[in-house]
Structure 1
């Protein structure tokens, strides 16, 4: 008979993380271990997690900051932030069946917990609403980008949906507002080699390397100064669309990273990046159906 390890329940849509305690004698308490294992998290924050009853042993017994270190065991902990800036925009479920959920994400909302956001993320919002701890994003769009994101509801089918994106079997259409480029002939295809830039959260172009990113660009409408573009990414590199349009001297409106990094206050919501994940199309690997979804949001000249 296979024993099933106990797993802590979600708390406000947040699933517990698990860390293994290795065999060694350097730590007196589990608190000491956690502080050294995760130096990016302050000691005060670990104390708050203990005090808020957010740390458990593998048998789901609550731990305190004085609990002695015990090697070759697991510890469960929940992410916790004393304060998060509320993102005052709703998300909308576009489609849902027993396998997937397609959600229309607003601007400014991060998909998964990271950095300064836990509760104010799309994944935690959805887990809290559905009480489904297995919900997983199949692909990602930037915090600054609005539009469609697909989630898998059951672990057994996660790999099949992830493979769709790995095989480039999903057709993705984006809309963007940027300066009108009369010098370009449309449709215009751009291919570049993208790699990590400086600061680390940006991307840069390496002209010496073979292209690893490709986008097809069409112009949907325009006036003298501005245009609405249809972007069809063939690949899915980080910030691909933003870097490609910036390279063409038509950076996307309100982009805080390209061409120049601009630090925007967390509570500034009046200049959203004019980039929208407008459409998803694919053949469902589980049901065999051809599915097409469109964001209810729009960008306007």
Structure 2
């Protein structure tokens, strides 16, 4: 029998009001989550792993209740441990600013249920209400803002909606032949800056993004700040926040990020190579705390090349 890992925290689904052809919760779950399989849902229900919001157990014949929440525990084959440690960089009663290592998801996703930043921080702090205020890809390392109190959480989400939080990234990529030639001839002065604006939309498969014709819906400011051999160190500021925006914008400049498994082409799915992390780092967050009024300037250690200036001085 295959060993599985069970999520420490339950997930939930809201039973849609418009569904009228399912008489039981079991029938809905087996159809809605068809990839999991009817027999898996049957066994979960028989094992008492599916319940209503009040904790009462759902049975195979439990009637479908439109708009009700159904809670369940995700299970996946035993997880691979991510061999890198998170760090708490700042903590008060409302927020935790943490360093998330490469390969670690922020919340349960895919084959990860307990190997995620939220679960690790809950174990470390004993605070069960920790939740992220924004996204950070599993492949990307760096500083992330976590909230701890549900009653103030919306105030920190609003920072990102109102674009009043400054995000600075670092990245490493192989340079274009033209840049390398100019640098070797001594006719290139750093930093070299690009403003990238274009229109991005999902590609195929849908988790991959592509640049298409049309009005721009993305904007990044990108600077090459140091060169070592054929590799450059970049400082990046995403003005908008589309999925994979910085990765796609670097690709559009002809310089895809080092160790990127998605761009310029999607590599076959396989186990993580922990020796080859994506060279993208959310290195710094700056904002005024909407509750305490404190100005936060939180940084983590970034990438370095010889003679590279520190992002901390910008």
Please indicate, yes or no, whether the TM-score normalized by the shorter chain is above 0.5: yes
CA deviations 1:193-222 (Å, max 9, x no partner) are 11111221111111x311111111122211
Who is 2:288 aligned against? 283
Structure 1 Cα separation of the partners of residues 216 and 53 of structure 2 = 47
CA deviations 1:235-290 (Å, max 9, x no partner) are 11111111111111111101111111112422422211111110000111111111
Who is 1:8 aligned against? none
- Of residues 263, 280, 297, the one that matches 1:292 is 297
The question of whether the paired residues in 2 share the 8 Å contact of 1:195 and 1:203 is answered with yes
SS at match of 2:233: strand
Offset of 1:300 from its aligned partner? 4.9
Structure 2 Cα separation of the partners of residues 272 and 164 of structure 1 = 29
Structure 2 Cα separation of the partners of residues 228 and 273 of structure 1 = 13
Who is 2:63 aligned against? 69
Who is 2:268 aligned against? 263
Mapping for residues 242-257 of structure 1, pairs under 5 Å: 242-257=247-262
Who is 1:124 aligned against? 119
Who is 2:242 aligned against? 237
Offset of 1:108 from its aligned partner? 0.9
Structure 2 Cα separation of the partners of residues 203 and 294 of structure 1 = 28
Q: 1:81 to 1:299 in 2, by over 3 A?
A: farther
Q: 1:21 to 1:76 in 2, by over 3 A?
A: farther
Structure 2 Cα separation of the partners of residues 24 and 225 of structure 1 = 60
State which drifts further: 33-42 or 97-106: 33-42
Mapping for residues 54-203 of structure 1, pairs under 5 Å: 54-64=49-59, 66-69=60-63, 71=65, 74-181=69-176, 182=179, 186-203=192-209
Q: 1:179 to 1:77 in 2, by over 3 A?
A: same
Who is 2:312 aligned against? none
Structure 2 Cα separation of the partners of residues 263 and 161 of structure 1 = 37
State which drifts further: 265-274 or 38-47: 38-47
Structure 2 alignment gaps of length 5 or more: 1-5, 183-187, 307-314
SS at match of 2:167: strand
SS at match of 1:228: strand
Q: 1:67 to 1:57 in 2, by over 3 A?
A: farther
The question of whether the paired residues in 1 share the 8 Å contact of 2:133 and 2:146 is answered with yes
Aligned residues: 288
Structure 1 alignment gaps of length 5 or more: 1-10
SS at match of 1:176: strand
Who is 1:3 aligned against? none
Who is 2:9 aligned against? 14
Q: Give the TM-score, by structure 2 length.
A: 0.82
Q: Give the TM-score, by structure 1 length.
A: 0.86
